[in-house]
Chain A
């Protein structure tokens, strides 16, 4: 059997076994999932070794004198300490490595949230109110209306996620202010529409994948039947 044909049959059987989940959870499906996780973990380990650790840490430490790479000694030591996380008794030794990872990760997340999401989304909400480039009154009204709907939807959706309670005589009453309640109710409508649109997008994408797989199965079976 030609190697390519063998690979095609492997893909064929794996596809059938995964699609068998439609009939209900079964042992063969779970078996394929185990194989999938094993292969993914193996491939990820190889990628981490060859594309992260080897070029950035091991090769520089091995091929060049240590004096030229003193800065790499710190991550090397922290990396070794991180391995102690595998032992429940010695896992405390890995805490400094985790602390560096968490601290840098938190700072990068803050930077990403502020510059990537907050600034971008806020400027996107404001931009429809920039009317200087528009000529006709109709387009001004149309853009202004769209901008107001967008702004109202954004504010109301945010109000829906406001979980603060009103205080009375220094104690929480357990209920939100009336204005927040009204805005949250409108926000619920926008969120339902958004989740519906997202659902439609995911459903369309998964349907496309299902059609592609069925097409693959038919293409493999066609020469065998005819």
Chain B
């Protein structure tokens, strides 16, 4: 058996956490709470490990003998300045908030704006390369829901027949989304159970 200690920890912690959810009796509930608290702390440490790994990768790329990646230096400098400022000032300080509101938010909003252009280009390319009835249905659906979402038809909410048609049209994506959501939930359930049964051991790498 590969990694018996880790497998026992994963199965034991998982089963206690799951039991605490469905059978809320002491001491299982408090044990579940404690395990979740530990998992939150470990997730925090794992986040720091991931950040250090990201930095080490960019450090290697920057200091490589061949094909030096100079932009990586900007990442490291940006990280060092933000981290140092954050550790000294703490996250709630107005200067730290300025970093969020004047650097992160503009970049994120601009990336979202770029998405509008790339999505439109992608939709046009979809029609050029794969023009089937599914693409047609997708495009008609996108167009109809753009019209509905724009509020152009909001004045027709008082017209009885149109109101019923709009309600029926709005119900169609709900059915599909419900099927997709149930599918995702069943997938999560299967994956989770495979971990709890020890069939999948993603931690034994």
Contact = CB atoms under 8 A, between A and B. Distances in A.
Interface of A: 7-8, 10-11, 14-15, 18-19, 21-22, 27, 30-32, 34-53, 56-57, 71, 74-75, 78-79, 82-83, 85-86, 91, 95-118, 121-122, 124-125, 142, 146, 149-158, 160-161, 187-207, 209-210, 212-214, 216
Contact of B196 (A40, A46, A78, A107): A107
Contacts of B9: 96, 99-100, 103
Given A39-B78, A86-B56, A195-B138, 8 more contacts: A43-B96, A96-B5, A97-B42, A113-B185, A196-B140, A196-B141, A196-B173, A209-B109
A103 B12 contact: yes
Q: Which of B109, B112, B164, B176 has the most CB of A within 10 A?
A: B176
B127 interface: no
A202 B56 CA distance: 35
A121 B13 contact: no
A197 B141 contact: yes
Contacts of A151: 175
Contacts of A79: 41-42, 45
Given A103-B17, A154-B178, A200 B141 contact: yes
A106 B196 contact: yes
B43 interface: yes
B166 interface: no
B107 A190 contact: no
A28 to B, nearest CB: 10
B38 A74 contact: yes
Interface residues on B, range: 35 or more
B181 interface: yes
Contacts of B18: 107, 110-111
B36 to A, nearest CB: 6
Given A106-B192, A158-B179, A210-B112, A101 B43 contact: yes
A153 B172 contact: yes
Contacts of B123: 199
B175 A150 contact: yes
Contacts of B45: 53, 79, 82-83, 97
Given A98-B203, A109-B188, A197-B141, A153 B112 contact: no
B53 A39 contact: no
Contacts of A116: 185
Nearest to B188: A113
Given A46-B87, A192-B138, A156 B78 contact: no
Contacts of B27: none
